[in-house]
Structure 1
Amino acid sequence: MGKLVVLKFGEGSFEQGFAVTLQIGEEHERAATEITGKLPSFPEMPLYYSHWQSSYRQISNRYRLHADKMQVTNVSMIQDCENTSHILRARFNTWLRAEEFRPLREKWLERLSSEEEVRVILQTENSQLQLLPWHLWELLERYPKAEIALSSPSYDRIHKLRPKNPLVNILAIVGNSQGIDTEADQTLLQQCGNAEVCFLVEPQRKELTEHLWGKNWDILFFAGHSSSNKNGESGRIYLNKTDSLTIGELKYALKKAIENGLQLAIFNSCDGLGLARELADLQIPQIIVMREPVPDQVAKEFLKYFLQGFAGGESLYQAVRQARERLQGLEDRFPCATWLPMICQNPAQIPPTWDELRSTTKPKDTPDLVLSTKRRLATTLLSGLAITGLVFGVRCVGWLESVEIPAFDQMMRSRPAEPLDSRLLIIAIDDDDLAIQRQNNESLSGASISEKSLNKLLAKLNQYQPRAIGLDIYRDFQAKQPDLITRLQKTQNLVGVCKGSDSTESITGIKPAPEIPKTNLGFSDFIHDPDGVIRRHLLFMNQEPTSLCPATFAFSLQLASLYLRPSGIQPKFTPEGNLQLGKTIFPNLKSRTGGYHDIDANGGQILLNYRSPKQIAQQVKLTQFLASPINSSAIKDKIVLIGVTARGDSPDTWPTPYGAPLDEQMPGVLVQAHMISQILSAVQDGRPLLRVWSLWAEVAWIWGWSLVGGVLAWRKLSLPWLALAVSITSGVLYIVCFGLLISGAWVPFIPSILSLVATVSLLSIYNSATKVQVENGQ
């Protein structure tokens, strides 16, 4: 999923400067980051743009602005245009490097990766700000998958559900084309796959209106002459040799088209910002226009490149960026061609892909007591010790587990996501993959992947030499295809799964694939807590005598061991029975660990230190992998995990600290990926394992916060101020515990809070009682 960045410009001007708000978040979600800043005054900026605009418009190319006869372009005019463009670009970026704007730049760089697809929306009513060449912003150019769009601060969502069209319905208006070649535009539109194009060539006003009312259009396209007025508030399109229209004169017809599902308007014509402003008032989702007069050749090439990308599967923003950048090849004859295409966006709408256009998508002062300092200290120490003992006793019998575990989950969810693990590649089998296999008449035979697809997948993987392949799919039956049988037997880096038996819970287990050698098997068993959540990682165990699964090592450990083997690292055990890989020891959990009380600690268990709630590693769909060319570097010497992420057919999903409801659960193959990554990261990167302190260290920690409560109780604070002090101290405690968890230590938070509050309460009552006794002369 890509990122959405919104730059909101508040009240201001180039003479006074602008207040700016930066929001960053995931697509389809609320912004997770917001920061405000300012751009300083720069009254000369509109003048620099005006100089460039003037030099650009003096170049007499065949523009789609009007049908007047053009003169021959003077070479010196092209040079003058290039010079003014360089000056404008330099001054523009100097302004954006202002110190007042620096916090926004740094937050941008902190939160966004250059590998992510980023939609940037610039929200402002200032027409001069909209005209500036934002695509030349140095910061934006660091992100090859980022594209910027303009937006008004005022917008509404179109709530009506868009009707489903079997093909992309395009209404193509070919207006007055005197002096320009619009036949190329028509040819390009006709070549679009999965599209139905209706052409209106130099239509009358009534004809155009009737067509806008009469059908559910997805795309409105205009080629011909157009213009905007001087202030850029409105525009005009030239329908034929005698008639022209403003957007206002088509208002009701366009409103109806938008209500019926119109998603995109493309004006492959000149000077379209005025058109875009009027269309934005009608809440059209997306608009593509040209900021200035556009040469005929540039308009044709842009449309060609855009349609190739958009209809070929690129997102709308990526298709526009790629098409715009490819215009650079024309800039020897048409300077600043890459400046012209612009997107205008309704921020309430999500840009659809080409395929989504063909389906319906929906897309948290009391006086001091007369006690001596020595007596006060002794009272605090003893009270704190007594309360600590009480709290710890309650914890040891398990009464706090039901609140400590949710607190642990909350901290886990709050941790910042870590980068993707580049050692892993996940080939996911989702609902679409299952459906495609069934459509191809491939027998699944109770599995999630057919023998044909599995054989093809393993063959393709082996070409690229992965270090290990993990098949996280049960195959407790004999394969039928001879090629697959041989491949399963002879693929030495292939690890299969089986499930152990558990007689205490009447679990019979699942046999492994008979073709895979026993040395290449790992058990897939997860250990879940009473609430069903996976918080522990089982590394090894002794199987029951009657178990159908012979593996003693976990699937994750087997794969990690294969990956580490070339480095000379083999699993071994310490005298205490702990697993050791290289210099890293994985201490086994005990029955009482952290917030846990009396858990079944059999086998080698550790706490599972999840890496990220979103994505653990690069992931590709099965059918996409089989059908597409592969970059060998994505597979060579990596661990490739094959597993099911489908949620329709008997989903293999598990509750985690990131979510227990069914729609928030994590597919088993991703849980396995977290486990493998935990092992490799601990051994190779020194990433900390989750650990707990010793019993006495935890007692001292809880007692320490009890003493902090005692100090607060002895201060001269009224009840409201005391409550505020306790609240702030509790917040500090949470932050400290959260920071320690990030560094790998799960320390008592709930017991510490209880000790803190109980000590404050007890000593406050004691102080009040003592004060009354003193005042009564007792």
Structure 2
Amino acid sequence: MNKLVIFSLLGGDLNKGFPVVTAQLWHHNQFLLVKLTGSLPAVPELSQLYHRWQLLYEAVHQHLGSNQRIKVHSQDITNISVNDFDEVCQQLQANMNAWLKFESFQNIERQLRTLLNRDDEIRIIIETDIVLVHRLPWHLWDFFKDYPQAELALSNHQYVSPQVLPKSPTGKVKILAILGNSVGIDIEQDGALLQGLTGAQTTFLIEPTRKELDEHLWDLDWDILFFAGHSTSIAHGEIGKIYINQTESLTIPQLKNALNTAISRGLKLAIFNSCDGIGLAINLADLNIPQIIIMRERVPDLIAQELLKNFLIAFAGGKPLYLAVREARERLQGLENEFPCASWLPVICQNPTTVPTTWQELSGNFGDTKFRGQVSTKGKIAIPKTKFWTVLISTFIVAVSTVGLRYLGAFEKIELQTFDQMLRLRPKEDPDPRLIIVEITEKDIQSRQETTLGHKSISDSTLATLLKKLQKYQPRVIGIDIYRDFADPPNKLQPIKLSTEISKENVLVTCKTPDSKYDPQGVKPPKEVPVERQGFADAIQDPDGIVRRQILMMPQEPSSTCTTPYSLSLQLAAGYLSYENIQPKVNENYIQFGSKVFKGLKFGRSGGYQQGVNLGGNQILVNYRNTDYQRVSLEDVLSDKVNPDLLKDKVVIIGVTANPVSDTWSTPYSTAQQDYQQIPGVFIQAQMVSQVLSAVLDKRPIFWVLPFWGDILWICGWSVVGSLIVWRVRSRSDNRGAIFVTVVILYGVCAIALLKQGLWTPFIPSAFSVVASGVVVIFIQNRREFSTTPQSLIE
């Protein structure tokens, strides 16, 4: 997975410390994952130690007779030994890591480590305008030991994204190679390496005049700018100068207009295989060139040549730029007996607004890349793209396999859990103003020690009194979500009769359909209420115990104690809507209120339900409202403590919320609560009534699913996307990031479709097919690579 970490060292220097250090972690330059803040203390001894190291470095190389790309100035230090220099190197490394272990900075590092994996491809960018901080050997930070695919780059504080004109790929990487003043050094090998690189079109300017160089930068398009020869940094390292021939030298500001033009026409990478390149990097960064590779200090000829060779082999062979530089840099360590600190010299300078280029991107050609020449290597030819028909076949196999696994129910549990998780993305909603619940609480039950027949929460007489009180407030419809299958003995002291109150036209009662497994008898309704004002209150749980579906209607067996084909929630909604002159149209497969059609899930398989779930009757998914409902207690109503406006023209549902009552259920919201607890059934009924009313009156979405063949096309389509992304993305390191981003986009699409349009799409099978298709294409490409006859990159 491709990660980018940008450290910004602000408002200080090594002598004063950096009071503010920020770290930003990005995923593939696109998504900011986290931003952290810390600080670093003053370390004046590090500045002194570096200057001593620099003097000893030049003295040691002069003593060893290294051929430098710029003459070593005479130093005051004499009689220096390599052992002394090694000791200073160790001190510098120890002091660097001690500085970076400062507690405030360590807090940043610890948090980053929790978000990074060892196998991640990580680009670390140090942003600073302090030249000395640019020169420090940041690659010695212990962090890089733990992340083998991490590499360092430097950046100035200020940068903007370069404005690049579109251009057509030529199939060749266009390189402008400037071979400048070479007095006392050997740069012919640099030219030979570039000359032997196929897949590139290299133009050589050998000791050009300023006019020739300027014209080439102005008039032609270039992908890579290469320079070999003498160079230096002046003005305390803030200005870079190159020696283009034996009589002329140029600073980068003197080439500003020509370089700006070259960058706007597609120049992506500058390589300065010359000494003391920090000033060059700082000036080029001001021009917003995407990437630069320079040498921090003076560099011996052989080291410059080895770096270029190893970098070109890795980069042109398909490795990402950062990993190619790290590999080329680390291979220099084998030469450090003769050339101390050789692996300290190369460094990348990066414009953080740009993504590092690849060889394939520069050329627009994903075919073979190789070298010609006399140097041996163990590399392999880059493998051509997998053929398109192979991608299609693999996609078809993955898609069919995914559909088959889904058909067998392999994804059902996790699909339902993902459905719940998407629902919980919705912000808190306002309560439905059309509903109010009269709850019978534990306190209400305990305060009334009444004689009842059967297991009742309150007596018939209390319920009758409650109904009488409620009718005074003129609700549109009253639903009794309490079973009343047995009447209590007559109470001569209670003039209000339940039979009288429940016979009112706006009162609906409940019953329960027999269940062969849990309740073979069922619960019959009160005999005084006709079937037109009855509704069954059956709740259906999914295999994981969560209520996600609502039965609107279902046929009853002739022997059933509950004969109504309609649910209590549907009856209550219909009763309320009748006041709006909206009457239901009932069909075997759907129920319609006005323009809103409630189509049931298809029997057998529908959406995420594929195995072991009975979808008989007219069942719809519950579009839960993320809210609580207005409620008043039984005692408040009986004591006339209720505001009449709370009940007038409302749907009133009477139900029990007391703890001992077993009528409690789990919903997608209750299961996510930290203090998990089930909710009373009366709240489920309120959600179901609200769902119908909100869909009809507020145009709130009704959840629906694609037909079976639609789900298949959806899964197959995303399987194709997964395959094509991996097929088109040539960098192996980018494949995982591309697949991850695709799955994130898929999740966003599915969540928006569900929450905005009510469409429940198969996210889990589709995500599985994206990943599986990508992995299969990678596997096929790897097999082709390993089955290809190995041969040298350099012949």
How would you bin the TM-score normalised by the shorter chain?
0.5 to 0.7
What is the alpha-carbon distance in structure 1 between the residues aligned to residue 753 and residue 106 of structure 2? 34
What is the alpha-carbon distance in structure 1 between the residues aligned to residue 360 and residue 124 of structure 2? 23
What is the alpha-carbon distance in structure 2 between the residues aligned to residue 134 and residue 290 of structure 1? 14
Give the structure 2 partner of residue 758 of structure 1: none
State the secondary structure of the residue aligned to 1:32: strand
Give the structure 2 partner of residue 57 of structure 1: 58
Contact 2:399–2:769 (8 Å) recurs in 1: no
Percent identity of paired positions between Structure 1 and Structure 2? 39
Give the structure 2 partner of residue 124 of structure 1: 128
Contact 2:131–2:278 (8 Å) recurs in 1: no
Shift in alpha-carbon separation, 1:279–1:654, aligned structure 2, 3 A: closer
State the secondary structure of the residue aligned to 2:11: strand
Residue type matched to 2:322 in 1? Y
Contact 1:543–1:551 (8 Å) recurs in 2: no
Query: 1:256 Cα shift?
Result: 1.2
Say whether residues 1:87 and 2:182 are aligned partners: no
Query: 1:551 Cα shift?
Result: 7.9
Contact 1:498–1:523 (8 Å) recurs in 2: no
Give the structure 2 partner of residue 462 of structure 1: none
Contact 1:217–1:257 (8 Å) recurs in 2: yes
State the secondary structure of the residue aligned to 2:270: strand
**Match among 436, 439, 449 for residue 392 of structure 2:** 449
Counterparts of 1:721-740 in structure 2 under 5 Å? none
Shift in alpha-carbon separation, 1:539–1:25, aligned structure 2, 3 A: farther
Residue type matched to 1:344 in 2? C
Shift in alpha-carbon separation, 1:329–1:595, aligned structure 2, 3 A: farther
What is the alpha-carbon distance in structure 1 between the residues aligned to residue 264 and residue 762 of structure 2? 38
Query: 1:229 Cα shift?
Result: 1.9
Counterparts of 1:293-692 in structure 2 under 5 Å? 293-359=298-364, 437-438=387-388, 449-450=392-393, 472-474=398-400, 497=404, 552=611, 597=688, 655-656=750-751, 669-672=765-768
Residue type matched to 1:308 in 2? I
Residue type matched to 1:327 in 2? L
What is the alpha-carbon distance in structure 1 between the residues aligned to residue 164 and residue 258 of structure 2? 16
Shift in alpha-carbon separation, 1:143–1:659, aligned structure 2, 3 A: farther
Moved more, 306-315 or 47-56: 306-315
Shift in alpha-carbon separation, 1:532–1:110, aligned structure 2, 3 A: closer
Counterparts of 1:90-239 in structure 2 under 5 Å? 90-166=94-170, 167-229=172-234, 231-239=236-244
Contact 1:188–1:304 (8 Å) recurs in 2: yes
What is the alpha-carbon distance in structure 2 between the residues aligned to residue 351 and residue 531 of structure 1? 39
Query: 1:274 Cα shift?
Result: 1.0
Could you tell me which runs of 5 or more consecutive residues in structure 1 were left unpaired when the two chains were aligned: 361-434, 443-447, 456-470, 475-493, 501-518, 555-577, 579-586, 603-618, 631-641, 677-778
Say whether residues 1:240 and 2:245 are aligned partners: yes
Residue type matched to 1:307 in 2? L
Could you tell me which runs of 5 or more consecutive residues in structure 2 were left unpaired when the two chains were aligned: 366-384, 426-540, 550-600, 614-665, 667-676, 692-701, 705-720, 733-738, 773-795
What is the alpha-carbon distance in structure 2 between the residues aligned to residue 262 and residue 538 of structure 1? 60
Give the structure 2 partner of residue 33 of structure 1: 34
What is the alpha-carbon distance in structure 1 between the residues aligned to residue 686 and residue 295 of structure 2? 62
What is the alpha-carbon distance in structure 2 between the residues aligned to residue 269 and residue 593 of structure 1? 75
Q: Tell me the TM-score normalized by structure 2.
A: 0.51
Give the structure 2 partner of residue 268 of structure 1: 273
What is the alpha-carbon distance in structure 1 between the residues aligned to residue 205 and residue 684 of structure 2? 74
Shift in alpha-carbon separation, 1:64–1:661, aligned structure 2, 3 A: farther
Residue type matched to 1:4 in 2? L
Contact 2:66–2:339 (8 Å) recurs in 1: no
Give the structure 2 partner of residue 282 of structure 1: 287
Residue type matched to 1:473 in 2? A
State the secondary structure of the residue aligned to 2:91: helix
Give the structure 1 partner of residue 16 of structure 2: 16
Give the structure 2 partner of residue 725 of structure 1: none
Contact 1:528–1:534 (8 Å) recurs in 2: no
Give the structure 2 partner of residue 6 of structure 1: 6
State the secondary structure of the residue aligned to 2:148: coil
Give the structure 1 partner of residue 511 of structure 2: none
Contact 1:534–1:655 (8 Å) recurs in 2: no
**What is the CA deviation profile of residues 193-215 of structure 1, one whole-angstrom value per residue up to 9, with x for unaligned ones?**
43211111121221111110111
Query: 1:241 Cα shift?
Result: 2.3
**What is the CA deviation profile of residues 252-297 of structure 1, one whole-angstrom value per residue up to 9, with x for unaligned ones?**
2111111212111100111101111111122211111000001111
Shift in alpha-carbon separation, 1:47–1:197, aligned structure 2, 3 A: same
Shift in alpha-carbon separation, 1:597–1:248, aligned structure 2, 3 A: same
Residue type matched to 1:176 in 2? N
Query: 1:48 Cα shift?
Result: 0.3
State the secondary structure of the residue aligned to 1:497: helix
Query: 1:81 Cα shift?
Result: 2.3
Give the structure 2 partner of residue 507 of structure 1: none
Residue type matched to 1:497 in 2? G
Shift in alpha-carbon separation, 1:173–1:546, aligned structure 2, 3 A: closer
Shift in alpha-carbon separation, 1:36–1:658, aligned structure 2, 3 A: farther
Residue type matched to 1:314 in 2? K
Contact 1:155–1:283 (8 Å) recurs in 2: yes
Shift in alpha-carbon separation, 1:226–1:655, aligned structure 2, 3 A: same
State the secondary structure of the residue aligned to 2:15: coil
Shift in alpha-carbon separation, 1:544–1:667, aligned structure 2, 3 A: closer
Query: 1:159 Cα shift?
Result: 2.5
Shift in alpha-carbon separation, 1:667–1:162, aligned structure 2, 3 A: farther
Query: 1:242 Cα shift?
Result: 2.3
**What is the CA deviation profile of residues 497-530 of structure 1, one whole-angstrom value per residue up to 9, with x for unaligned ones?**
2887xxxxxxxxxxxxxxxxxx999999978999
Query: 1:238 Cα shift?
Result: 1.6
Residue type matched to 1:449 in 2? L
Contact 1:220–1:265 (8 Å) recurs in 2: yes
**What is the CA deviation profile of residues 93-151 of structure 1, one whole-angstrom value per residue up to 9, with x for unaligned ones?**
11111234232222222232222111111111111111111111112332111112111
Contact 2:38–2:104 (8 Å) recurs in 1: yes
Query: 1:623 Cα shift?
Result: 10
What is the alpha-carbon distance in structure 2 between the residues aligned to residue 183 and residue 594 of structure 1? 85
State the secondary structure of the residue aligned to 2:399: coil
Give the structure 2 partner of residue 78 of structure 1: 82
Residue type matched to 1:164 in 2? S
Residue type matched to 2:112 in 1? W
Shift in alpha-carbon separation, 1:653–1:110, aligned structure 2, 3 A: closer
Shift in alpha-carbon separation, 1:180–1:539, aligned structure 2, 3 A: farther
What is the alpha-carbon distance in structure 1 between the residues aligned to residue 310 and residue 193 of structure 2? 10
What is the alpha-carbon distance in structure 2 between the residues aligned to residue 74 and residue 242 of structure 1? 32
Query: 1:56 Cα shift?
Result: 0.6
State the secondary structure of the residue aligned to 1:149: strand
What is the alpha-carbon distance in structure 1 between the residues aligned to residue 363 and residue 754 of structure 2? 33
Query: 1:552 Cα shift?
Result: 4.2
Contact 1:655–1:661 (8 Å) recurs in 2: no
Contact 1:654–1:668 (8 Å) recurs in 2: no
State the secondary structure of the residue aligned to 1:236: strand
Shift in alpha-carbon separation, 1:546–1:249, aligned structure 2, 3 A: closer
Contact 1:69–1:179 (8 Å) recurs in 2: no
